Structure 1
Amino acid sequence: MFARRTLARISSQPSPLGAAPQNARNMATLREIELRLKSVRNIEKITKSMKMIASTKLAKAQRAMQSGKQYGLANSVVFENATAENPAKRKLFIVVSSDKGLCGGIHSSVSKATRRALADEENVVDSDSPVMVIGDKSKAQLSRAVPQNLALTFNQIGRDIPTFADAAGVADLIVKSDAKYDSIAIVYNKFVSAISYEPAIVEVLNENTLKESPGFKVYEMEDDVTKDLAEFSLANAIYAALVEAHACEQSARRNAMDNASKNASDMISSLTMQYNRGRQAAITNELVDIITGASAL
């Protein structure tokens, strides 16, 4: 009789708080849920902070974008009077992205647009069109898709608001490169609104095309003038694309961090409910064990 009571007391000892029931080996313990809840809360704090930072940077980027668009308008006026007589046989694609992530699919959009444009070029004229990439994100994507077309890459540009000096440096390296092309296509993200963007392609004429255009043949110009104009137009177009792509990136990052914060809040609510249910079940099991042990005595 004494042995039976002793066994009853041992078997009825309350399990530690937070332990999973014996019939549910795969159920997460309260300690695991508590650690995960703490981790998700920390992630929510980080995403909210990043959202506020991106919102502040977005306002500055939009002001810089409005100023940078004037450079693109100046280019469009020049190219309206410099139409090429013969279609370009070989295009140089300049892809504008950045080195930073955590901004949704903004880098994938320009990479996909570049691949589509290259596919169209293969069907029309030339399949060896060179590609130059600004930013490590699109570089990594295009190096897997079209490694044979990559001619030059740039990084550490646009970490803050892009300047005309950044664009001029890129244009200078492009002009000095050995890439052969008849025209230039800049692939970038066009700012539609604070919550949306779309990939766009802007055409830039090179020095030879400007010389052969009927609008420029009317005037007697030295070779250096046309060369400087072509390089300056390229720098203008790159700068306009950089500032607009930067504004799109900040907008996409803010939206991505907002969605991440909402998802974290939903996960916190779900984990809190799961934790409360598990804690209540553990307390109930302890009460049952205590009552059982008292009855056995």
Structure 2
Amino acid sequence: MLARSAIATRTAVSALNVAGQTRNMATLKEIQNRLKSVTNISKITASMKMIASTKTTRAQRAMNVARNYGKVSDDFVKQAEVKRAEGAKELLITVSSDKGLCGGIHSSLSRTSRRYLGANKDAPVVILGDKAKVQVQRAYPGNIRYSFSQIGSSIPTFDETSAIASVILSDKSIEFDNAKLVYNKFVSAIAFETDSMECYPVRQIVEAPNFNAYEYQEDILENLDEFLFTNNLHWALVEGHAAEMAAKRTAMENATKNAGDMINRLTLQYNRGRQAVITNELIDIITGASAL
């Protein structure tokens, strides 16, 4: 009877040890699968960071060229002392893109646009890019007059901007005097800020106090109006594209660092679990040898 009790006890302990090992092995398998998944994600984010770094360099070169032309137009308006007329109708243009994985750069534009529409509920809106459109459309769907997609996949060209400007200016159903451009301003490779610029009609420019200091012909005023609007719009597009590429590079860098930290934690957890399984197996071997 004593022998049978000892054998039954040993069998029960062995069954518990086998069940514990099975559970530990299942846990280790899950950790190993998750470790492989995070490692693959880390490789993807590291590759996307390298691609974003290359695109950021190209976008900065294009941005510097667009800034030179944009600042000339901006200095011209400032030196002429052009001011917004009282009661002028304003068109809001939100300059965004279709791409994601770049942090909160689109959310910042959407918040600024919604804040403006909260104070000007009847203002028409033109949105460039699907990311800002989705967020603005939830609160102010009736204000959106136009939305342009397929923007941000590459560096915006002046021809593309001219086509967008022609659609906006040729549509007589959109009644506006001034245009307010909301865009992301490139500050540095790791920082951006949401800014805005005003586009004034040519009649307000002609009525400016210091505009008489310039020599001009009457037949070129309409061309000047279209050029200033298109030039500012192109400046905002290229500036926003550079800020987006820099934000995407920063986001992918942070994602790679977070993946590395998670890999270290999972590796430590896996090694501890594996060591515990080996220790239990050694205990069973030693216990069996001692029983014999």
TM-score (norm 2): 0.88
CA change 1:49–1:32 in 2 (3 A) is same
In the TM superposition, what is the alpha-carbon distance from 1:169 to its structure 2 partner? 1.0
- Mapped to 2, the partners of 1:18 and 1:270 lie a distance apart of 22
Correspondence list, 1:247-286, <5 A: 247-286=242-281
1:34 alignment partner AA: Q
8 Å Cα contact 2:99-2:152 kept in structure 1: no
Quick check: 1:19 aligned with 2:22? yes
User: Which of 106, 109, 129 matches 2:123?
Assistant: 129
Quick check: 1:86 aligned with 2:101? no
- Mapped to 1, the partners of 2:216 and 2:160 lie a distance apart of 32
8 Å Cα contact 2:106-2:131 kept in structure 1: yes
- Mapped to 2, the partners of 1:30 and 1:255 lie a distance apart of 33
In structure 1, stretches of 5+ residues that fail to align are: 22-26
User: Which of 134, 139, 143 matches 1:140?
Assistant: 134
1:157 alignment partner AA: I
8 Å Cα contact 1:8-1:296 kept in structure 2: no
**Matched position secondary structure for 1:186:** strand
Partner residue of 1:167? Answer: 161
In the TM superposition, what is the alpha-carbon distance from 1:108 to its structure 2 partner? 1.1
In the TM superposition, what is the alpha-carbon distance from 1:243 to its structure 2 partner? 1.0
1:39 alignment partner AA: S
Identity %: 49
1:139 alignment partner AA: K
8 Å Cα contact 1:12-1:292 kept in structure 2: no
User: Relative to total residues, which structure has the larger helix share, 1 or 2?
Assistant: 2
- Mapped to 1, the partners of 2:20 and 2:231 lie a distance apart of 67
C-alpha deviations, 1:69-128, integer Å up to 9, x for none? 122122213323262472353211111111111111111111112222333xx2xxx421
C-alpha deviations, 1:175-205, integer Å up to 9, x for none? 1222111200111111111111101100001
Which deviates more, 285-294 or 269-278? 285-294
Quick check: 1:35 aligned with 2:29? no
- Mapped to 2, the partners of 1:259 and 1:85 lie a distance apart of 43
User: Which of 7, 10, 32 matches 1:8?
Assistant: 10
2:220 alignment partner AA: V
In the TM superposition, what is the alpha-carbon distance from 1:214 to its structure 2 partner? 5.2
8 Å Cα contact 1:85-1:212 kept in structure 2: no
**Matched position secondary structure for 1:240:** helix
Partner residue of 2:238? Answer: 243
In the TM superposition, what is the alpha-carbon distance from 1:241 to its structure 2 partner? 0.8
Quick check: 1:232 aligned with 2:227? yes
Partner residue of 1:24? Answer: none
- Mapped to 1, the partners of 2:175 and 2:93 lie a distance apart of 13
In the TM superposition, what is the alpha-carbon distance from 1:211 to its structure 2 partner? 5.2
Which deviates more, 44-53 or 110-119? 110-119
- Mapped to 1, the partners of 2:39 and 2:135 lie a distance apart of 32
1:150 alignment partner AA: I
Partner residue of 1:100? Answer: 99
User: Which of 152, 163, 187 matches 1:192?
Assistant: 187
Which deviates more, 78-87 or 142-151? 78-87
- Mapped to 2, the partners of 1:87 and 1:18 lie a distance apart of 80
8 Å Cα contact 2:97-2:151 kept in structure 1: yes
CA change 1:85–1:284 in 2 (3 A) is closer
8 Å Cα contact 1:85-1:213 kept in structure 2: no
Partner residue of 1:153? Answer: 147
8 Å Cα contact 2:53-2:249 kept in structure 1: yes
In structure 2, stretches of 5+ residues that fail to align are: none
- Mapped to 2, the partners of 1:83 and 1:207 lie a distance apart of 10
1:285 alignment partner AA: N
C-alpha deviations, 1:218-266, integer Å up to 9, x for none? 97854x6333221111110011111111111111111111111111111
2:67 alignment partner AA: K
Q: 4+ residue stretches of structure 1 with deviation over 6 A?
A: 217-220
